[in-house]
Chain A
Amino acid sequence: MKKNSILEVPLLHPGWKKLAYVFFPLPVFLVIGIAFWNPKTDPNETVQIIYGFWAMAFMILNLSREEVEDEMIRQFRQQAFQTGFFWLIWGLAALMLINYLRFDRITSELFTAYLVLFLLNGYIYAAFQYQKYIANKEEN
């Protein structure tokens, strides 16, 4: 069956993964730099910078092509997005419950778009890598 072009997701060249690996340590140095530059910076802001960079890093990894992009990898990727979303919903529910038990309120400043994007992309990446690990385990 031919896929409708509007549903087609173009994947990034595998070379983009290098940029993603730079994005993991980069915010740590950035935050240290900001702390020296402006010691009065809100610690919550620095955490959001880290979440933002890590979210972008995982997003690039999730949207980059594999060396051989065959039907099994495509199925793993689809499953990873579905599983990642499922884990995100339950993870956020758990965080809300913890927040409620500790502070008597469901909402918190903790729940930012950066955190949600970081968790979602992190979960998708983990689910994808896990499937690849299972497929490669016990090689014949």
Chain B
Amino acid sequence: MKNTIKVERAKKDMTQQDLAEKVQVSRQTINSIEAGKYVPSTVLALKIARVFEVGLESIFELEVGD
């Protein structure tokens, strides 16, 4: 699953640490999600979407093989 968290962060001038604090996870978790190494739970994905004030599907997108 690919995502646009990095782009959304840049739009809001937000660091990984800022986002991590807002959704109550570690910075490493945000880094792993951005790098596509970790797929977040629905709850965490919804929290991230809420921080950026966008819909879930505009951040996360399924890839071939998912």
Whether the Cβ atoms of B16 and A72 lie closer than 8 Å is no
Query: How many B residues are at the interface, by size bracket?
Result: 10 to 19
Decide if B26 is an interface residue (CB 8 Å cutoff): yes
Whether the Cβ atoms of B35 and A72 lie closer than 8 Å is no
Report the stretch among A52-60, A112-120, A130-138 that lies at the interface: A130-138
Given contacts A71-B40, A72-B25, A138-B35, 9 further A-B contacts (CB under 8 A): A68-B25, A71-B25, A73-B29, A134-B37, A135-B28, A135-B29, A140-B16, A140-B31, A140-B34
28 A-B residue pairs with CB within 8 Å: A67-B26, A68-B25, A68-B26, A70-B25, A70-B29, A71-B25, A71-B29, A71-B40, A71-B41, A72-B25, A72-B26, A72-B28, A72-B29, A72-B32, A72-B38, A73-B29, A75-B38, A132-B28, A135-B29, A135-B31, A135-B32, A136-B28, A136-B31, A138-B35, A140-B6, A140-B16, A140-B31, A140-B35
